[in-house]
Structure 1
Amino acid sequence: MSDPLASDHVDIVQEPGPNEMRDPLVRAELKRASVWFGLAIAVALVVLLIQPLLIIFGGLVFASMLDGGARLLGRILPIPRTLRIVITILLAIAFVAGVFYLTGVQIAQQAEQLRTTLEVQANRVAAWASEMGLMPGRSDLTGLVQQAIGSVGRLTSAVGSVIGAATSMLMIAILGLFLALEPRTYERGLQWMVPIEHRDEFAITLARMATTMRRLLAGRLFGMLFEGVITWLALWAAGVPMALLLGIITGVLAFIPNIGAFISGVLMIAVGFSAGPETGVWAIIVYFAVQNFDGYVVLPLVARHTVDMPPALTIASQILASALFGVLGLALADPMVAMIKVALESEAERAERASSGKRPRWRRAPQDAAPEEP
C-alpha cells in the first residue's frame, strides 16, 4: 500500500541568490567587470612601460628595413637570407661612412657655421620682436626659455641625454637584427598566443602589417633621398650657403613628414637671409618648389605603392606622440598609426564577414607579405 503523502511530495528548487556565482546575471556582470578591469591594467602598464615599448617598436621598424633590403637583394642574389641581411647592413654602413668620408670636413665646417648663423638670426628676430612689443624683454625671455627647456627635458628624460639616446639606438639595432634574422620564430610565437580558431585571421593581419611597414619605410627612405639631393643641388645652384649640410638635414628630417619639412624650411630660410635678401628669397623659392614638387608629384606616386594616410591624421599623431613620448615617439608616430590602421581595417572586415554570415576563409596575402624562409 503506497504512502498517501508521497503523492503530495513536491521537489522545491531553490533559485540562486543575487550574490551566488551560479547566477547567470552575476557571472555576466563579473565577466564585464573583468574586461574593464583588464583594460585599465593594460593602459596603466602601457603608461608605465612606454619607453621600453617604444624601443621594441623601434626594433620592429629597423627589422622591417633590414627585411626590405634582404628581399630586394633576394631578387638578384640567390643566397641565404642571413647573408643578404649582412650585405644590407654593410651597404648601409658603407654609404654613411662614404658620405662622411668624402664630405666630413665640409660638413663639420658648415655645422659650426650653421650654429653661429642661427644664433645671429635668432638674436635679430628676438630684438625686432622686443622693439615691436611682440615679445617680453631679454631677461624675461631667458627665463621662459629655461622653463620650456626644463619641461621638455622632463618629457624626454629617457632619451634626452647622449648616453641614453645612444643606448636606445643600440638596443633598437640589436633587437631589429635578431627579429630580421628569424622572423618566422617570432611570428609563430605570436600566433600561439591567439586562440586556435582565430590564428588564420591573425596571420593575415600580421602579414598585412609587415607589408605595410616595409612599404611605408621604403617610401620614407625614397623621400629622404629625393628631398636631400634635390634640396642640396637647388640651394647650391641658388648660391645659398651651407647647401650640403642643409640638404642632409632636409633629407634626415624628411623621415618625419610635415613637421620635418617645416623645421628644415625654417633653417633654410634663416641661412638664406643671412647671406642677403636676394639669397633669402631664393631659399624661399627653393623650399616651396621642392616641397610642392614632392607633395604633388613624388608623394602621390609613392603613396600609390605604399601607404596613403591622411595628412591631418599624420600631423595629429605626430603632435600627440611627441607630447606624450618625446623625440622617439615623434619619429615612430607614422609607423604606429599605420599599424593601427591595418589592425582596424582587418577587424572591420572580420566583423563584416560575421554580420553577413560568411564563413571566415583564408585569403592569400600578397606574395611579399609572408616572411621568407631562412
Structure 2
Amino acid sequence: MRDPVVRAELRRASVWFGLAIGVALVVLLIQPLLIIFAGLVFASMLDGGVRLLGKALPIPRGLRLVIVVLLVLAFIVGVFYLTGVQISQQANELRATLEGQGDRVVNWISSLGIMPGRSDLSGILQQALGSVGRLTSAVGSVIGAGASLVMVMAIGLFVAIEPRLYERGLQWMVPIEGRDQFALTLGRMARTLRVLLAGRLLGMVFEGALTFVLLWFAGVPMALLLGILTGMLAFIPNVGAFVSGVLMVSVGFSAGTDQGFWAIMIYFGVQTFDGYVLLPLVAKRTVDMPPALTLSAQILASTLFGVMGLALADPMVAMLKVALESEAERAANAGKDGNAPRRFGWRLRQNATLETASASMDSQRGG
C-alpha cells in the first residue's frame, strides 16, 4: 500500500468504481430525481416571475414572490371557478367522442385487412402497455401523480424563496479550484432555464387562447376544453402539438365535415405562426435546439422515464447543452493559457513521481 504506483492505480480504480455506483444510484432513484428536477423547473418559473415583477415594483424579493404565487393561484382558481362546470361536461363529451372516433378508425382499417380486429388489437395494446416497466406505471397512477405534483410545488417554492442558499450549497460540493467556473456555468444554466420556460409559457398562453377563439368562431364543439388542452400540451414541443392536432381534428369531424376541415386549417395556422414567428423570436434569447435533437431526447426520455421524462426532456437537454458549451469554453481558455493539463493521466503520473521522490528522500534520511 505504500508503493506510490499502487496508490495512483487505486485512486484511478476508485474513480471508476465511484462512477459505476453513481450510475446505479441514478437508475434506482430516477423517479425522485425527476421530481426534484421538476421542482427546480417550477422554481425557475417562479424566479422568472419575481425578476420580471422586480422591474416594475422595487419591493423586497419575498413580497414579490408572494404576489407571484397569489397571482398564479388566483388564475387557476378563477379559471376553474368560472368554467369548471363547462370543462367537466366537455371532458365527458370529449372522452365519448374520442372513443367513437377511435372505433370508426379501427373498424375502417380492419375492413381493409391492414390491422387485426378490435379484440386482437386490445390484447396487443395491453401487452405493449404491460411491458413499459415500473417507472411508467408509477407515473400513471393518479394518486402518485397528485403526490408528485405537491412535492414538485413544495420544492419549487422553497428553492424560489432563497435560491442563493442552494446555489452556495452546490458550489461547496465542487473542488475549490473549480468553483468559479461552476458558479458561472450554474448562472448560465439558471438564466437559460428561466428564458426557456418564459418562452414556453408565452407559447402556451398564445396557442391555448388563439385555438379557443378560432374553434369557437368556427363552431367546433368543446372549444374551451380543446383550447386549454392545446395550451397545456404546448409545454411539450413536437409531441404536444401532434396530440392536440389529433384531438382537434377528431372532435371537428365528429360534428361534421365542415367543422373537421376548419379544425385542420386552424391547427396548421396556429402551429405555422407559432413555429415561424413566435419560436424564432424566443430562440434568439435562449438555447436554440434543433427539432430533431428535441424529438430524439423526448423519445429517449419517455421510453426510460415515462410521462414525466417526456415533459422534462426539453429543459434537461437545454441545461446539458449550456454545460457542454461552458466546458468547451473553459477548455479553450485553458488551452490558450497553456497552464492546465490536457490529460487526466498527466496529473496521476505527476503525483506518482512526487510520491516516489518523497519516499526516496525519507529512505535516505532513515539511512
Q: Could you state the TM-score of these two structures normalised by the residue count of structure 2?
A: 0.89
Flag the 1:153–1:106 CA change in 2: closer, same or farther, 3 A. Answer: farther
Instruction: State the alpha-carbon separation in 1 of the partners of residues 108 and 190 from structure 2.
Output: 51
| Offset, 1:64 | 0.6
Equivalent-residue separation in structure 2 for 1:131 and 1:107 (angstroms): 36
Residue 113 of structure 2 aligns with which residue? 133
Q: Where do 4+ consecutive residues of structure 1 move more than 6 Å?
A: none
Q: Distance in 2 between matches of 1:330 and 1:93?
A: 25
Determine the C-alpha separation between the residues in 1 that align with 2:81 and 2:155.
Answer: 28
Shift of residue 359, structure 1, vs aligned partner: 7.5
Aligned to 2:287: 307
Separation in structure 2 between the aligned mates of residue 120 and residue 319 of structure 1, nearest angstrom: 29
Instruction: Report whether the alignment pairs 1:93 with 2:83.
Output: no
Deviation string for 1:199-247 (max 9, x for gaps)? 1111101110110110010011000001001111111122211111111
Deviation of residue 35 (structure 1)? Answer: 2.0
Structure 2 match to 1:204: 184
The residue aligned with 2:345 is none
Q: Which moved more, 1:341-350 or 1:157-166?
A: 157-166
Q: Counterpart of 1:89 in structure 2: which amino acid?
A: V
1:347 to 317, 327, 335: 327
- Alpha-carbon distance between aligned partners in 2 of 1:359 and 1:203, rounded to the nearest angstrom: 21
Larger radius of gyration: 1
Q: What is the CA–CA distance in structure 1 between the aligned matches of 2:133 and 2:4, rounded to whole Å?
A: 54
Report whether the alignment pairs 1:249 with 2:229. Answer: yes
Partner of 1:219: 199
**Residue 167 of structure 1, aligned match among 147, 157, 163:** 147
Decide which of 89, 92, 102 is 1:122's aligned counterpart: 102
Q: Deviation string for 1:257-283 (max 9, x for gaps)?
A: 000000000001111111112211111
3-state DSSP class of the match of 1:306?
A: coil
Greater shift after overlay, 56-65 or 146-155? 146-155
- State yes or no: 1:40 paired with 2:23: no
User: Aligned letter for 2:122?
Assistant: T
Structure 1 residue 354: deviation in Å? 1.0
Equivalent of residue 79 in structure 1, options 46, 55, 59: 59
Conserved in 2, the CA contact under 8 Å of 1:250 and 1:261? Answer: yes
| Structure 1 residue 52 corresponds to structure 2 residue 37 | no
Partners in 1 of 2:315 and 2:293 — Cα distance?
A: 12
Write out per-residue CA displacement over residues 44-90 of structure 1, whole angstroms, 9 at most, x where no aligned residue: 11000101111111111111111111111111222221111111111
Are the counterparts in 1 of residues 185 and 323 from structure 2 also a CA contact under 8 Å? yes
Whether contact under 8 Å (1:155, 1:323) holds in the other structure is no
| CA–CA separation in structure 1 for the residues paired with 2:196 and 2:338 | 32
Higher mean alpha-carbon deviation, 274-283 vs 311-320, is at 274-283
Q: Report the 3-state secondary structure (helix = DSSP H, G, I; strand = E; otherwise coil) of the residue aligned with 1:194.
A: coil
Q: Tell me the distance in 1 between the aligned counterparts of 2:166 and 2:249.
A: 47
Q: Which residue of 1 aligns with 2:84?
A: 104
- Offset at residue 197 of structure 1 (A): 1.6
Matched to 1:242, the amino acid is: M
Normalized per residue, the structure richer in helix is: 2
CA distance in 2, matches of 1:307, 1:93: 29
Contact 2:209 2:231 in 1 (8 A): yes
| Contact preservation (8 Å) 2:298, 2:314 | yes
Give the deviation of 1:358 after TM superposition: 6.4
Distance 2:237 2:338 in 1: 40
The CA deviation at 1:151 is: 2.9
Q: Is the 8 A contact 2:207 2:234 kept in 1?
A: yes
**Residue 85 of structure 1 contacts residue 181 of structure 1 at CA under 8 Å; is this kept in 2?**
yes
Gaps of 5+ in 2: 341-367
**Are residues 1:189 and 2:207 paired?**
no
TM-score by length of 1: 0.88
Structure 1 unaligned regions, length at least 5: 1-19, 361-374
Q: Which residue matches 1:332?
A: 312
User: 1:134 is aligned with what amino acid?
Assistant: I
Match of 2:257 in 1: 277
CA distance in 2, matches of 1:126, 1:329: 30
Find the partner of 2:3 among 9, 12, 22.
22
SS in 2 for 1:158: helix
Across the two proteins, how many residue pairs are aligned to each other? 340
- Per-residue CA deviation, residues 73-127 of structure 1 (Å, 9 max, x unaligned), is 1112222211111111110111111112222222111111111110110000010
Overall identity of the aligned pairs, in %: 73
Question: 2 CA distance for matches of 1:32 and 1:152?
Answer: 37
| Coordinate RMSD, CA, aligned | 1.5
Among 134, 137, 140, the alignment partner of 1:157 is 137
Please tell me whether the aligned partners of residues 31 and 135 of structure 2 are also in contact (alpha carbons under 8 angstroms).
Answer: no
Measure how far apart 1:153 and its partner are: 6.3
